[in-house]
Structure 1
Amino acid sequence: MHQCLMYSVLTSMNFFKYYIHGKVFTRWQQHTRFTVYCHARASLVRRLFLAKPMFVQPLVRIHSLMHEVESVKVMSVGTNVYLLADFAKEQASVRSNTVSGAAKELEARHDSTVSVLDKLVDTVSKSTEPQNAHDEHAALRPRMKSMVQEKKEARDDARRHQLALHDQGMLGDCVRLVDYMFQACLVKVVVNAAVDFFHRMETASKMFSISVAYGDQNMVFEPCLSDHVTMLEELWRGSVQVVNTVPSFLSLPHFDAYVIAQLNHQTVESILNCSLEFNHYTAAVRERIESDINQAQKFSDKHFELFRRIHEYGLRWNEEEYLAAPRSHEDLAADMTLMREFQADLDKYKPHHNVGIIVVDGRNLRASLTPVPERGLGAMKRALTDIARKKCSGVLQKFDAANKVLDERPKNLGSYADFVKAYNDIKATERHLDEQREEVESMYQLLRQYNVRVTGEDQYQMEFLQTKGNDFTDKKVIEAQFYIKEKREEMVENLGTVSQNAEEDARKISEQLKQDQFTGEDAIATPENLAKVLEELSVLQAQMGKLDEKASAFTENQTLFDVVTAFDFIEVEKAKSLFSDKFKLFNLVHEWTETKKTWNSAEFQKLNVEQMNKTVVEYSKTAFQLTRSLEGDEVAKKIRQTIDEFKSKMPCYLDYGNPAMRERHRAKIRQAIGMGPSAVTLYSLEHNKLTDYKELVAEISGTASGEYDLEHKLEKVTKAWDELLMPVTNHRNQRELWILGDVSDIIMQLEDHSVQIQTMMGSRYVQGIRKDVEIWEQKIRLGSDSIDEWLQVQRGWMYLESIFSAEDIQRQLPQESSKFKSVDKFWKDTMKKVRQSYRTAMEAFQIPNLLPSLKNANDTLDQIQKSLEAYLETKRASFPRFYFLSDDELLSILSQTRNPEAVQEHLCKCFDAIKRVTFTQDKKREIISMSDMIKETVPFTSPVQTAGVAVERWLADIEEKMVSSLWALTKAAVSAYPEDGVARKDWLFAPYPSQTVLAVDQIMWTKCAEDALTLVENGNKEAMQGNVEFAKKQLEHSVGLVRLDLTKLQRVLMGALIVLDVHGISVLEDLEGAKCSSVTDFDWSKQLRYYWTMEEVSMSDGKFTSDDCIVRQTIASSRYSFEYLGNTPRLVVTPLTDKCYMTLTGAIHLNYGGAPAGPAGTGKTETTKD
């Protein structure tokens, strides 16, 4: 019993329980592994080349050759610093050198491998031949072996022959293997080159040398980054090309018998292009070079910026211009100091800088900068030498000239005055001369400072300047000053004497001018007397000029000699004033005489009477002034009287010479004064006493001016219309379709000119040009009427042209289309005429029969418009939702009845929530669904046919399918509503429209609330509380769903659902708080309630319905219309919203309308839709 128990215990242990199974499985596993091993071993014996005696030695030799191939270098990268061109040249030599280049070595290894394969092929081929075939004497030898032994040898020969044939069949695979090995080695050669290049850059610096130069903004490298990138690309391309040119063993003709051609055989180049390792290292090399060159660029921009000013100075330097330009000593000193600074900066210049693998070589840059200060300083030294020489010579001449002047000793008054004046001038420039001498000394000092050798001639000139300067300062000036003081009293006394003589001469001239020959009327009595007086005045003018010069010189000498009491030349000034007035007077007489003579002899119409008047006024003013200054002078009085007398007649002459006067006006005046038609002169007018008829002349002149003004205004009107073009512009970019452009300028000009013409017609001066004014009055009136009719026709034609261009409208309105074609032809013909023949606006208005034709076209367009409106009204009667569309939108639909999709853009106006409908892609073009703004799609229960159906018909079918589809989906949603009513995820996210889900949720909420009220009525006081808890659990589950990863449609649905559920909970809590206990209580009946009724019920309007959704509130009840509302958010329902609901449902019950009022954005429309 114990053993049985122990056995049971042991067998219950997993080890012993499953021991047999484990042992069997282990043995099976080991046997299977051994069987697989044996199978693999046998396969290797059959297929492995190294297991074949004939292949062993050749493959060993081939492996040795492969090792040699791997050691070939296609790139040589040493530790020295390369110029880019040298590096590229060296690598090209490494690849293609005819003696030791990589291409030569690879070719040799390839030939050796081909030789080994040829020997292998020969050996294997010979082994397949029968052994007896090689022994020609075998048949002649006596048979020494038994039959058994011969049979055994025959079997062995057959087996060997079979193995040889098998080996021969493996030759193709062997060649392919060797080709793969050779390709792998070639790939490795290029990859190793890339790796070596990369390691060279990583382990050492200073690989490439780059010359640097100045660019416009930054430093410029030679070679630049793009050159390095190009070199790298050529380097990799050349390396790949070297190995890629080695022919494949598979392509050799003597292996064709063993190798099957492969269409997709890869080349070494294609393998390298796909090699991640090769691409990695080549990219790393490029990134390193780009990075180091960019760093070198930043370093160079910063480091060499110190020397950029030298470079820029060198670019601007032009020695010829520099030497030609005037420069001061200070400018040269500053420039030479700058050159010294440049040389000091260049002494700090370092030619080489290492930045990673880049060596920035600045030797060429330094070589270009070094000559800049050297050339500049040399030119400046030469310029300074020339300037110093010229300056020294110039200053020396000034000192020499000053010394000569100061050496003079004048004896008479004039020379003494000149000497004093020259002395004063020299004293004024003395300081300046000293400064110039010091400047010359500074120049030579600067030349010595810069080690410039001064010639002996320049040195002598400089020393001579010092001598002359010291002589001037210490001797010449002092001696001249002493002489001036010594002779001053004597010269002042002489000056007083000559001044008195000048006064006496002036007194004599004044007395001569007061004699009768200059004051009496006889002086101007005859032209001969006047000429004589003018001649005498010319003589006195010369005397007076000399006297005035003397007085001025004597006055200047008084100042020069520092005379304490100055002498006043009173008589000279009096003589000057008197002579000036006399000279003006007699010149005035002479000018007036000559001017009057010219006017009298000239034809009056050629005279400029305005200029005559100005001349007379000017002469009168001058005569008046002379009368006052020459009081008592008979000549002055006489000339003033003569001029004033003529001046009084000038108004009459101005009227007669009015430019507005025509020949008929002048003829009337001549007739009045008794003159003939001969040429009229001023003399003839005076002789015929024109001034006696000055009132008549003034009246006729005024009339002429009025007529002239009207003519001028009419001429401006004519010119304005000649220049104003009729604006014609292309319509809708069609070549032969034209319309009027902006005619605001024409309308404004018509209005302005209409007022101007009316003003002309009311003028008392219009009589002479009345006929012309009346013609323009008719033109302006015609233009105003025509432009109004023209614009009205254009508006109507442009509106109807796009409508009647559609074939569908032409087919539906044939009579109106025919009428429009006639108007269209008239319009196009008229605009063509305007554009070709009647370019100006007024010419266009004068087109024959234009105005009656435009009026007729307007009447026709009005008839067409009325017919079109009546046609649209019939369409709206067929489908009332067309009332939501404007005439243009409805016409857009009707003009494209063959294209149902043209209605898409107008659907949202016919159906508030339908954004688009879905058409099938076949010829039937049936509508199978509708969608809203956020692309919620509702499938129709059956497709809507559009082909061959009027648009209003299939739009009505869409309305019908909208209602029936929503009804069917709502009924299905009611049936699929989950029993527990809480876990509704699958139901909420089922393929039901959002509107359906919300309606069913309201239906179920109403059902649960009424069930609870019924229980309360039956005595269960906690029923409503339980219903509230149930509603809250529902809400919590809905809120939990919102936290999931929802689509946009699902999230909008859940937002609206939660809003309604929150309001539902608030209503239930209010019912519980109000102790509502019956479904007939007003607290419940005032709520907006949804029902799905299966039995037939009566509505507020007296109709009956069944198996439908009913909406009730208070005593009102109505059928849920299933108007698609789309998937939209819902506004929070407030007590005020509930009152709006009651008001609107009550209005519907009483067959009234309802329109909530309030500020914008308060939810009136959404509340009405809810």
Structure 2
Amino acid sequence: TAGPSLDDPAVGGQSQVHLIAENTNVKDQPKQVPVEASVLSTLSDARNPLKALQRLRQNPDSTEFVYLRPYRIDDITPLNPYHLEIVPHSEIDESNFYTLSSFGVTFFMNGKPEFTDLEQWKREHYLFNAIIKIPVFKKYRVWKSYKVWRDSVRYGKMRKCAKLLQKNLFWMNPTFQEALLRIRGMCMDMRKTRLHSFQKGQLCTLEQFFHDQQVQRGTVLSELDSFWTGAIDCARVACIATLESLEEGLFGSNAADAQAAHTGGGDKQSPRAENFRYTVMASKRVVQRRLYYFLRLCDYMIFNTLHSMVVESVSELLGYLQMDPSRIEETEAEKKAKEKAKALGKPVSSAIFLTEIMLAQGDLCFVPAANDFETELESIVGGFVDTISGNIRLLSHEELEQFTELYDAETETTEGSTVADIVTNDDEYQNLVSSLKDAVEDAFVKCGQYLKTFEEFRDMVSDNEQLDAEELRTGAEAGDVSLDDFRDKLTNFGSQREQIRLLPDAEDIGIIRVDTKRLKEIISPSPAACLEKLEELLPQLAAQKQKSILDEVNSANNRLNKKPETVEEFVSLLGFIAGLNEDKERMEAEFEELKSHYALMDEHSVQVASIDRAAYQMLVPEYTQMKNILELLDSTKDEDMGKWSARLEEDIKAFHDKVEGLKSSAEDTTLLEDHEFLDGVLGATAELKQQAVDLNAEAKKNQNFQQVFGQQVERYPLLDEVVGDINLKAGMWEARRDVTTITEGWKEVLVMEMPVKDWEAQVQKWFKTATRAERELPDNPVAPKLREMAAVWKDLIPACGDLKNPSLQERHWEKLETIVGFRLERDADTWEEPFTLGSLLAKNIMNFREDIQRVSTEATQEGVLEEMLGKVKGSWVNAEFTLSNFKDAKDVFILAGIDEIQALLDDSMVTMGTILASRFVAGIRPEVEKMEGNLRSLQNVLDEWLNVQKNWMYLEPIFSAPDIQRQLPAEAKMFLDIDKGLKNVMKKVSENPNCMRTGTQPGQAEQFSGWNDILEKIQKQLEDYLEFKRMAFPRFYFLSNDELLE
């Protein structure tokens, strides 16, 4: 134990007194010792012993002395033997008083004196007063009283509590003690039971895990039923024993009364028996109240056990999920299995759950997923609570209700909580459940990292699905996909197949074993399918290439083996040989590519149809034969050229004879005679044209052959002359036919629907043909007649085209009708005959072509002018004045931002000048002059308006001053009239700010002009007034008008 403390009055006080005594010396003390100055200061000088002590020190040889008595401040403060006061002899207590002299202090107690030297008394006085200031001694009396009181109260309370515990504590009662110990033992045994069936090292699927927990739940429910049965039996035995003990104590010496109390004793009971019955009932109520608390205690013990079962089961399950050994209790079998695996060097797997990686809808996922595990775990843990909540508590059990039936439990306020409420509201349980979810999430986060390693296979499947055999076929045929590309794809898909084969079937990631067997089954067909497509496509491409080359080689061999019989065939053969020589490198490359193609298929074991393989083997000798024939023909080329060159000269002589014969046929005079029926002459000209075309083609062939043989190319001017003559005559007769037939259809077309440009081009073509025929074929009666027929349509179509002018107004149509002399009815509802080209032709409207063109031109130009006028009008429709408040006055406005309006007005005036200067303005002159007048009026009003506003803004602050109004009353009155009128005008403008409507009011320009004259007169009068002031005060000449007015 600790040693004594300085705060203890028995120890600390003595130590402090001893220190004060040792460190205090009378000689060291001052002559004036301030003893309890606060107390003695309340005494008068006559009663203060300190004052007397000073006097005695001044006269040390004096025999004077004074009487002293103890001085009490009040009845509460303890008496201080050194608190003294001077009193006369009559006021002293003969049995207790002091005397003070220059020699010392004498204390008289019951007549016995005790003398103390003055210095000794002063020392003791100082020490005593110093000691009583120490907290230990100062508070000793209070502390001592409090300690005695506290010990007494504590002792009494502890005795009372001990008796109460001895009386009410169930563990002190042998009957209850035995029952509680048995129930406690059962609880301890039950607490070892786990609500889950999970075992370390066990690997299971989510379904299997859930099934095992349901089986375990059934087992635990059976154990709980046995547990509750045992607890009920123990509680019932204790309750029966307690009631029997009570009855023995009550009825042991009063058997007769007890029998009467039980049986009722007949109709009338004795007063003693009646009183005894009430006593028994009261005692039973007290005992049953105690039994109620006993059963409730048992419920608490059981609830605590069930709560611990749930918490420890969840905690142990969490330990498995977190791989935390501190939370897991290993069984002996688990320890032995672990030691055996360690001895054999086998790794101990920590995986407890099994999940699979699946590829669904193009994305990788776990089946079951983290959400599935969390949901099932939440369901299983919730099942823990349901499992322990299935039984009825002891207090409510029907077998034990008889032991508490006399006690009214409604007075209890703590009832109602179930074991489920206790568990679910426990913070530790909630934290464990939350940690379970976190553990699953953390486990799947790690699995997610492993899942990412399969993303390349997911992308592989996605990319492989994009493989399109037809697209590859098209690319290969176009040359965009080479054999190297096919080789890379074959290698890539083969590598993919091997990578998938090497994938592990499963991998342990923490507590999760990730199964990939089904994933491998899903992705394995992808590269296999791609390889199948390629293995199907490559032979087809090879057969296609092979067929193309074989056809080309066979065709070349057939052509090279055929002997030429004409010059044309020989030249064709030379060209063919030249083409083969040019394509030699290409064919060689295609042949080598085909060989590489077959080598690629052999390299990757691609199956090729036997017929394609045989065709490939036949291609090699055919290709060799073609090269040999080419070499042979190249060696005999010069000899063959000489032979066929002579043959060409013979053919050219025969060609000249053909040209002469064609010329004779073309000079037939019947072709220039006028015929009523044109079919015969058109047939003759068509035949001549075909002969000319054939001879032209033959001439070009001969010239081409001469170039091939290196001869001088011969020209055929006679042929050109004959061809030109034939084409001219054929064109003339064709034009004659068209003028007759085509124009018949034109006559039925409405004027407003005719394609003027196309018809004008056709008529111009006929007219040119007729003119050329007249010039080159003189004395030709057909050409003048053709020209005459075309001339009619050459004048008619432009005239009708002018009538289609959309700019023609009613006034223009009236002019046209005056010119042509008949009604031009354009409305289908009112015309007598359709307004067609034929009707106008019948009325010879082409004779008025120039006049019609002039009116149409006027209409077009007037349309342009009307469009310009419309734009001017449109620009003023929404043009508005911009107003602003004058000096922040709400209802007073001025014009602001007039620049845009002025610019628009200037542009409009320029446009109107351009319109009026046009020589085509006559038709719209009234409208133009009206608009031009409005613009000029607006210009005049705006000029006067701005001038009035400027002068008004200058004079308004001047005439607002009362002094100016008194000095210039007439001018002030004129200004106020203008001020009122201008404000009214501006108010109307604010209501309707449109420029054209506001600025063209009649008389507005004159009104503003009059106001300007008056304002100028007012300004002149104001200047005269200021001049008068300057003459009176010459110093004012140094000030401007504005400064002078201010």
TM-score tier after normalising by the smaller chain length: 0.5 to 0.7
CA shift in 2, pair 1:478/1:306, >3 Å? same
Following the alignment from structure 1 to structure 2, what is the Cα–Cα distance between the partners of residues 572 and 496? 18
Task: Select 2:514's aligned residue among 352, 356, 360.
Answer: 360
Residue identity in the other structure for 1:556 = N
Aligned match of 1:549: 697
Would you say 1:395 and 2:549 are equivalent positions?
A: yes
Aligned match of 1:537: 685
* TM-fit CA distance, 1:496: 1.9
Task: Select 1:451's aligned residue among 602, 605, 612.
Answer: 605
* TM-fit CA distance, 1:196: 1.0
Aligned match of 2:90: none
Any idea what SS the aligned residue of 2:247 has? Answer: coil
CA shift in 2, pair 1:652/1:42, >3 Å? closer
Aligned match of 1:476: 629
Aligned match of 2:884: none
CA shift in 2, pair 1:540/1:248, >3 Å? same
Any idea what SS the aligned residue of 1:420 has? Answer: helix
**Preserved CA contact (<8 Å) 1:54 1:124:** yes
Following the alignment from structure 2 to structure 1, what is the Cα–Cα distance between the partners of residues 691 and 434? 107
CA shift in 2, pair 1:62/1:689, >3 Å? closer
**Preserved CA contact (<8 Å) 1:75 1:91:** yes
Would you say 1:252 and 2:374 are equivalent positions?
A: no
**Preserved CA contact (<8 Å) 1:124 1:164:** no
Deviation per residue, 1:566-591 (Å, 9 max, x gap): 33344333333332233223323333
**Preserved CA contact (<8 Å) 2:666 2:688:** no
* TM-fit CA distance, 1:188: 0.8
Following the alignment from structure 1 to structure 2, what is the Cα–Cα distance between the partners of residues 699 and 17? 142
Residue identity in the other structure for 2:429 = F
Task: Select 2:573's aligned residue among 419, 424, 438.
Answer: 419
Deviation per residue, 1:200-254 (Å, 9 max, x gap): 2242743333322457797422222222221232122111111122322232234
Aligned match of 2:659: 506
Residue identity in the other structure for 1:294 = V
Residue identity in the other structure for 1:591 = D
Aligned match of 2:1022: none
* TM-fit CA distance, 1:177: 0.8
Would you say 1:115 and 2:233 are equivalent positions?
A: yes
Aligned match of 2:354: 209
Aligned match of 1:241: 386
Following the alignment from structure 2 to structure 1, what is the Cα–Cα distance between the partners of residues 682 and 238? 144
Aligned match of 1:48: 169
Following the alignment from structure 1 to structure 2, what is the Cα–Cα distance between the partners of residues 623 and 71? 127
**Preserved CA contact (<8 Å) 2:506 2:513:** yes
Task: Give the total of aligned pairs.
Answer: 730
* TM-fit CA distance, 1:418: 3.5
Task: Select 2:734's aligned residue among 583, 587, 593.
Answer: 587
TM-score normalised by structure 1 residue count = 0.52
Residue identity in the other structure for 1:112 = G
Matching of residues 18-97 of structure 1 within 5 Å = 26=147, 28-79=149-200, 80-95=202-217, 97=218
Any idea what SS the aligned residue of 1:232 has? Answer: helix
Following the alignment from structure 1 to structure 2, what is the Cα–Cα distance between the partners of residues 228 and 410? 89
**Preserved CA contact (<8 Å) 1:183 1:268:** yes
Residue identity in the other structure for 1:260 = A
TM-score normalised by structure 2 residue count = 0.58
Matching of residues 160-559 of structure 1 within 5 Å = 166-200=286-320, 201-203=322-324, 205-214=350-359, 219-253=364-398, 254-255=400-401, 257=405, 258=407, 260-261=409-410, 265-301=416-452, 303-316=453-466, 330=483, 331-346=485-500, 349-452=503-606, 457-473=611-627, 475-482=628-635, 484-510=637-663, 512-514=665-667, 516-518=669-671, 523=672, 526-528=674-676, 532-559=680-707
**Preserved CA contact (<8 Å) 2:493 2:527:** yes
Matching of residues 660-739 of structure 1 within 5 Å = 668=818
* TM-fit CA distance, 1:438: 2.2
* TM-fit CA distance, 1:138: 9.6
* TM-fit CA distance, 1:767: 13
**Preserved CA contact (<8 Å) 2:356 2:366:** yes
CA shift in 2, pair 1:158/1:479, >3 Å? same
Matching of residues 144-163 of structure 1 within 5 Å = none
Following the alignment from structure 1 to structure 2, what is the Cα–Cα distance between the partners of residues 439 and 542? 49
Any idea what SS the aligned residue of 2:195 has? Answer: coil
Residue identity in the other structure for 2:690 = A
**Preserved CA contact (<8 Å) 1:128 1:165:** no
* TM-fit CA distance, 1:47: 0.5
CA shift in 2, pair 1:709/1:437, >3 Å? closer
The percent identity for this pair of structures is 19
Residue identity in the other structure for 1:588 = A
Matching of residues 1077-1092 of structure 1 within 5 Å = none
CA shift in 2, pair 1:159/1:137, >3 Å? closer
* TM-fit CA distance, 1:45: 1.2
Following the alignment from structure 1 to structure 2, what is the Cα–Cα distance between the partners of residues 375 and 603? 70
CA shift in 2, pair 1:287/1:116, >3 Å? same
**Preserved CA contact (<8 Å) 1:74 1:193:** yes
**Preserved CA contact (<8 Å) 1:609 1:657:** no
* TM-fit CA distance, 1:602: 9.1
Residue identity in the other structure for 1:50 = W
CA shift in 2, pair 1:21/1:346, >3 Å? same
**Preserved CA contact (<8 Å) 2:767 2:791:** no
Following the alignment from structure 2 to structure 1, what is the Cα–Cα distance between the partners of residues 791 and 510? 109
CA shift in 2, pair 1:343/1:620, >3 Å? same
**Preserved CA contact (<8 Å) 2:206 2:354:** yes
* TM-fit CA distance, 1:44: 0.9
Residue identity in the other structure for 1:180 = Y
Which structure has the higher relative contact order (CA within 8 Å, separation 6+)? Answer: 2
* TM-fit CA distance, 1:464: 1.9
CA shift in 2, pair 1:615/1:715, >3 Å? farther
* TM-fit CA distance, 1:529: 7.7
CA shift in 2, pair 1:615/1:407, >3 Å? closer
Larger of the two Rg values belongs to structure = 2
Following the alignment from structure 2 to structure 1, what is the Cα–Cα distance between the partners of residues 739 and 803? 21
**Preserved CA contact (<8 Å) 1:212 1:219:** yes
* TM-fit CA distance, 1:104: 1.9
**Preserved CA contact (<8 Å) 2:362 2:462:** no
CA shift in 2, pair 1:772/1:460, >3 Å? same
Residue identity in the other structure for 2:461 = H
Residue identity in the other structure for 1:86 = Q
Unaligned runs of 5+ in 1: 140-156, 721-750, 774-1170
* TM-fit CA distance, 1:444: 2.3
**Preserved CA contact (<8 Å) 1:212 1:222:** yes
Any idea what SS the aligned residue of 2:739 has? Answer: helix
Any idea what SS the aligned residue of 2:417 has? Answer: coil
* TM-fit CA distance, 1:597: 6.7
CA shift in 2, pair 1:611/1:209, >3 Å? closer
Any idea what SS the aligned residue of 1:527 has? Answer: coil
Residue identity in the other structure for 1:193 = S
Following the alignment from structure 1 to structure 2, what is the Cα–Cα distance between the partners of residues 588 and 122? 142
Residue identity in the other structure for 1:620 = F
Unaligned runs of 5+ in 2: 1-114, 258-276, 326-349, 824-831, 875-904, 929-1046
* TM-fit CA distance, 1:339: 0.8
Greater alpha carbon shift after TM alignment, 600-609 vs 274-283: 600-609
* TM-fit CA distance, 1:64: 1.4
CA shift in 2, pair 1:73/1:658, >3 Å? closer
Any idea what SS the aligned residue of 1:211 has? Answer: strand
Any idea what SS the aligned residue of 2:197 has? Answer: coil
CA shift in 2, pair 1:295/1:494, >3 Å? same
Following the alignment from structure 1 to structure 2, what is the Cα–Cα distance between the partners of residues 570 and 424? 32
